[in-house]
Amino acid sequence: MSLPTHQNYVNGQYLANKTGATFDVINPATGQVIYHMEIADDFIKQQAIDSAKQGFAVWSAMDATQRSRLLLKAVALLREQNDELAKIEVLDTGKPWQEASVVDVESGADAIEFFASLAPAIEGNQQSVGDDFYYSRREALGVCAGIGAWNYPLQIACWKSAPALACGNSMIFKPSEETPLGALKLAEVFTQAGIPDGVFNVVQGAGDVGAWLSHHSDIEKVSFTGEVGTGKKVMAGAATTLKDVTMELGGKSPLIVFEDADIDNAISGAMLGNFYTQGEICTNGTRVFVHRSVVNTFVERLLERTRNNIVVGDPMHPDTNFGALISKKHHQLVLDYIQKGIDEGATLLEGGEALSPSDSAGGYFVAPTIFSDVTDEMTICREEIFGPVMSILTFDDEDEVIRRANDTEFGLAAGIFTQDITRAHRVIHQMQAGICWINNYGASPVQMPVGGYKQSGIGRENGIETLRHYTQIKSVYVGMTPLESPF
């Protein structure tokens, strides 16, 4: 059976490249190629730039209420097409249908709805200066680029395009080569909603296409989601033309369980923060610090719930709640980290091996893995694994755990579980992290800005705050009186 070949999306339609070059896309749950994708060659790239510039001219001149209405139509279409889009995400990423059908499309639609609703409220201000005055306009930036990771492909495309488009910018988006289809479907939805051609374009390919976007002189901003190392390259590329950047990068976040915590609730947080989306979430609380006095109870109940409640298998099966890792390469990387944990002396309590569920043979599954006796300097405690590997560390007092939690180059997220309201705020205020949770882990409503401290990022996504990252201020001074001049 011949497999479909998809094309780039430029100027409101699919566009064939000139070279005919394609890459294969694999379903991580089976290891089988599921479709081919055309690579953006020089022809596509030039068309994308031309189209995004034309799209920007039309879109930025449109009244914000009109832009808002069109974006809200896209929201309705996304929700109507939820199941079809969620299935694409499951096949591309290997994540469970149970998650994708209620989170991925929905959280993307929420972001577009939120920013579409804010669009007409974007305003400047004015102030008197003696008899003169000045006013400011909050203007769009121009053509923005979005470069996405593979763990939440459609959601990332929505989280980047929503504020960009609401503020009147156009966008060229490059999804990860592993998961290229969701962004194309979003582009189709924007066109179906009546958003003008060229406002949202999708170019496909590997890192070189991302690098081309970050260097291009006609692009005013790059919003990037991915690893810290890649982020640094994108920022260096953006520096060549002094582009604005938003960087949503990796983490090695702490999750702290104090002795007075509701232990079952804390275990829920630790499991969500390590095993949801089979551990492929940037904010994961992979360093679980548990107070020495409760660690035995914590571990006992955690193991029981991990053994009894995790269902690994065909991600499309409605009962599956734990899917496959994104690729063979990543699968091996995660297994190598697990081996390093063992070699460096951590105690493997659970998992640690590759799995091959009978209903999803050939997939890149790794068992939910739990280490105890982990120390701060071990590789599994310092480096982002981006897989289902939880490290349990013990601590004795508050100052010690704050110091150890912050002892990392990352600063994406942090969570604490305690019943003591004073301690909760005291500790969280000392966490060097941009996204923090008290007695919760992972909730990310669209109203809440997200982004990293330290090397985990620059700028924010979601929340009203993000409007500032997709607009620029123009100040206009108006002279009402004769100009004083010594000349």
Residue 218: which of 241, 234, 239 has the closest Cα? Answer: 241
In whole angstroms, the minimum distance from the beta carbon of 248 to ligand NDP comes to: 3
| β-bridge mates for residue 451, sequence order | none
In whole angstroms, the minimum distance from the beta carbon of 238 to ligand NDP comes to: 10
Tokens of 21: 């070059």
248 catalytic residue (yes or no)? yes
> Rounded to whole angstroms, how far apart are CA atoms 172 and 45?
10
User: Which one is catalytic: 160, 185, 221, 243?
Assistant: 160
In whole angstroms, the minimum distance from the beta carbon of 264 to ligand NDP comes to: 28
Which residue, 177 or 188, is less far from ligand NDP as judged by CB? Answer: 177
Which residue, 168 or 457, is less far from ligand NDP as judged by CB? Answer: 457
185 catalytic residue (yes or no)? no
| β-bridge mates for residue 309, sequence order | none
Contact between 210 and 133 under an 8 Å Cβ cutoff? The reply is no
Tokens of 325: 């890792």
Tokens of 187: 């582009």
In whole angstroms, the minimum distance from the beta carbon of 418 to ligand NDP comes to: 26
160 catalytic residue (yes or no)? yes
95 catalytic residue (yes or no)? no
In whole angstroms, the minimum distance from the beta carbon of 23 to ligand NDP comes to: 9
Cβ-based neighbour number of residue 10 at 10 Å? 27
* Residues at the site binding ligand NDP, with contacts judged by CB under 6 A: 147-151, 174, 176-178, 206-207, 210-211, 214, 225-227, 230, 233-234, 248-251, 282, 384, 386, 412, 452, 457
User: Which one is catalytic: 99, 248, 280, 384?
Assistant: 248
Which residue, 230 or 321, is less far from ligand NDP as judged by CB? Answer: 230
> Rounded to whole angstroms, how far apart are CA atoms 190 and 70?
8
Residue type, position 272, single letter = L
3-state class (DSSP) for residue 6: strand
Which residue, 196 or 226, is less far from ligand NDP as judged by CB? Answer: 226
Residue 269: which of 252, 251, 256 has the closest Cα? Answer: 256
Give how far the C-alpha of residue 343 lies from the chain's centroid of Cα atoms, to the nearest Å: 32
Which residue, 255 or 401, is less far from ligand NDP as judged by CB? Answer: 255
Q: State the pairing for strand pair 22-27/32-38.
A: antiparallel
User: Which one is catalytic: 144, 167, 282, 381?
Assistant: 282
Contact between 234 and 224 under an 8 Å Cβ cutoff? The reply is yes
Residues identified as active-site: 160, 248, 282, 461
